[in-house]
């Protein structure tokens, strides 16, 4: 027999997921600290008290959403960075991935952008932690590239932070662009590419310019 996890647990996870989905939907037009427990359960079609079977409070649900939004991204990022392409192509590929991700999971991205500095401490910390993990991965990848020869470790890290932050900002800008004039999204993408290019140029001349 295949280990079927039990009808019991399966149903539970189903409701749990329904709660997460409902919350994510409602969060498109408000922030977590104003989202009510009853509001969520009402959408799912379940009694308010059922919420407690899955999360202690809204903060806990928020943290779960953070994992859902950012957890799956690591593999993707690592794949891009591992590519042995030229700087220019890598930039294009990176921006493309961000663009696609925003288009496919807009609500998740919006949630992260909104709650990154939002009103719920636990969620803020979860996001910060996840972004730190990204920066770590980026830093590790940057370090293996020849351009980084002679760089101090903390300078590699500062560059990694710069990259990660730029991608997050670009993603957020793309969201804002979506419900604006058409063509605005393309402009954002074009600007993002050039900004990354400028950073890349600065990187190439960092040592020669006496980075310290």
Partner DNA sequence: CACTTCAGAGGACAGTTGTTCACTGACACT
Partner DNA sequence: AGTGTCAGTGAACAACTGTCCTCTGAAGTG
Q: Binding a copy of itself by CB under 8 A: which of 15, 17, 145, 195? A: 195
Backbone angles phi, psi at 124, to 5 degrees: -55, -45
Contact 191, 166 (CB under 8 A): no
Asked whether 78 and 141 are in contact (CB, 8 A), the reply is yes
Q: Which residues contact 108 (CB under 8 A, 6 or more apart)?
A: 24, 65, 68, 69
Question: Is residue 8 within the footprint of a copy of itself (CB under 8 A)?
Answer: no
**Residue 119 beta carbon to a copy of itself: minimum distance, rounded to whole angstroms:** 4
Interface with a copy of itself includes 13 (CB under 8 A)?
no
Q: How far is the CB of 75 from a copy of itself (least distance, A)?
A: 26
CB under 5 to 8 A by kind: which of a copy of itself, DNA, none does 162 bind?
Answer: a copy of itself
Q: What does the alpha-carbon distance between residue 207 and residue 151 come to, in Å, rounded to a whole number?
A: 7
Out of 97, 107, 122, 158, name the contact with a copy of itself by CB under 8 A: 158
Please report whether residue 128 would count as binding a copy of itself according to CB under 8 A: yes
- Work out what residue 58 binds among a copy of itself, DNA, none; the CB cut-off runs from 5 to 8 Å by kind: DNA
- DSSP string of 16-46? HHHHHHHHHHHTTSS-GGG--HHHHHHHHTS
The three-state secondary structure class of 70 is helix
Site for a copy of itself, rule CB under 8 A: 29-34, 110, 113-114, 116-119, 124, 128, 154-155, 157-159, 161-162, 165, 169, 172, 176, 191, 194-195, 197-206, 209, 211
């Amino acid at each position: 027999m295949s280990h079927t996890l039990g009808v019991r647990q399966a149903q539970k996870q189903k409701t749990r997921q329904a709660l997460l989905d409902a919350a994510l939907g409602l969060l498109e037009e408000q922030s977590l600290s104003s989202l009510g427990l009853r509001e969520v359960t009402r959408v799912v079609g379940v009694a308010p008290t059922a919420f407690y079977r899955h999360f202690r409070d809204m903060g806990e649900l928020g943290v779960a959403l953070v994992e859902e939004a950012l957890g799956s991204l690591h593999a993707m990022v690592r794949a891009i960075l591992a590519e042995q392409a030229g700087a220019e192509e890598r930039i294009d590929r990176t921006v493309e991935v961000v663009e696609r991700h925003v288009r496919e999971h807009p609500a998740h991205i919006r949630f992260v952008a909104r709650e990154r500095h939002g009103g719920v401490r636990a969620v803020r910390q979860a996001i910060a932690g996840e972004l730190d993990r990204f920066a770590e991965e980026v830093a590790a990848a940057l370090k293996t590239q020849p351009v980084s020869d002679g760089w101090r470790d903390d300078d590699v890290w500062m560059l990694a932070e710069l990259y990660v932050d730029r991608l997050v900002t670009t993603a957020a800008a793309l969201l804002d662009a979506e419900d604006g004039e058409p063509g605005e999204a393309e402009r954002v993408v074009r600007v993002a590419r050039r900004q990354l290019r400028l950073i890349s140029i600065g990187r190439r001349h960092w040592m020669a310019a006496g980075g310290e």
